[in-house]
Amino acid sequence: MKKVCIVMGSDSDLKVMEGCMNKLDTFGVPYDVRIVSAHRTPAAAEQLSRNAVADGYGVIIAAAGKAAHLGGVLAAQTTLPVIGVPIKSSFMDGLDSLLSIVQMPSGIPVATVGVNGADNAAILAVQMLALSEPELSEKLVQFKADMQAAVEAKDEKIRAQFAK
């Protein structure tokens, strides 16, 4: 099975990205975690993305705040799908990060989840990997069924609580 490469622009992004790691763990998807800055270590970012396929990755998840160029820098040097996770910063509540990631030039797409959307980034990565991994497809079907059952249980509980 191919791995996911989780890249953060800073260790301050770790608290948010732990949700991504936990979600990948639930699906049994292997991953590596790196801290690479698009601005402070651009050569390392280039090397990581150029070697990603050879290193066994199937998807890259890039988390960054503020200017948030990391996902685009990585996407420019690889054919792998890149998922951007905009991190909520103290400035603009993460809108700056979201816009930096989502506004990519033609030819360099970065799939983007919501601000601090680490769990959804993991699920999207699993969906991408599941295109060639049938056992992941089965786990996704079960995941969706479990979500449905949880909502139905909450609905039943709330209906009973407020029944007149």
**Distances, alpha carbon 137 to alpha carbons 25, 32, 68, 124, in Å:** 15, 22, 31, 12
* φ, ψ of residue 95 in degrees (nearest 5): -65, -35
- When pLDDT is cut at 50, 70 and 90, the band that residue 127 belongs to is very high
Q: What is the pLDDT of residue 91?
A: 74
Q: Within 13 Å, how many C-alpha atoms sit on residue 118's CB side?
A: 21
Residue 33, sorted as left (phi over 0), alpha (psi -120 to 50) or beta, turns out to be: beta
- Residue 45 and residue 18: Cα distance in Å, rounded? 21
Q: What is the value of pTM for the model shown?
A: 0.95
With a pLDDT cut of 70, the percent of the chain lying above it is 100
pLDDT of res. 102: 95
Nearest residue to 60 (alpha-carbon basis) of 75, 46, 43, 77: 75
Residue 111 backbone dihedrals phi, psi, to 5 degrees: -65, 140
Say if residue 160's pLDDT is above 90: yes
Q: Is the pLDDT of residue 135 over 90?
A: yes
